[in-house]
Amino acid sequence: MNDIQTQDDLYLLVEAFYKKLLADESISYIFTEVVKIKLEEHLPILVTFWSQAILGTGGYTNNLTQIHLDVNAKEHLSPELFTIWLDHFYTTVDENFKGSKAEQIKTQALNIATVMQIKIANQ
């Protein structure tokens, strides 16, 4: 199994990850009802975000925390939802990649999820 090396790898990762999120009705409603995401627009944004975070490419300029505070204002993003999100993320990484970038992306996801939850709790 290879490590994450390219933006194509990240595309494969986020596509497989969203397949899991959207198949799990305990969280899918956030993406289909609360915010109606368009996958063909959403997935490339996720790739840009993760490419900046772990491949050092840059290009992501949105305010990620504010975007999630806005989602939370519509429907509470509970600790349970964060646990479900992280579980699917870790599983998707582990099913497809192995190596230092694969470890790094999981650690970063946990760190970002932790910061988001603190900001949500302090609202």
Stretch that binds ligand HEM, among 1-9, 95-103, 110-118 (CB under 6 A): 110-118
Q: Nearest-5° angle of CA 106, CA 5, CA 64?
A: 45
* Tokens 């969280």 belong to residue: 27
Alpha helix (H) ranges present in 1-123? 7-23, 25-29, 39-50, 64-74, 79-96, 100-121
Q: Which residue from 54, 82, 103, 104 is in contact with ligand HEM, where contact means CB under 6 A?
A: 82
Q: Report if residue 55 touches ligand HEM, rule: CB under 6 A.
A: no
Q: Report if residue 30 touches ligand HEM, rule: CB under 6 A.
A: yes
Closest CA to 92 of 25, 12, 27: 12
Q: Report if residue 81 touches ligand HEM, rule: CB under 6 A.
A: yes
Q: Which residues bind ligand HEM (CB under 6 A)?
A: 27, 30-31, 35, 37, 45-46, 49, 62, 64, 67-68, 71, 77, 81-82, 85, 109, 112-113, 116
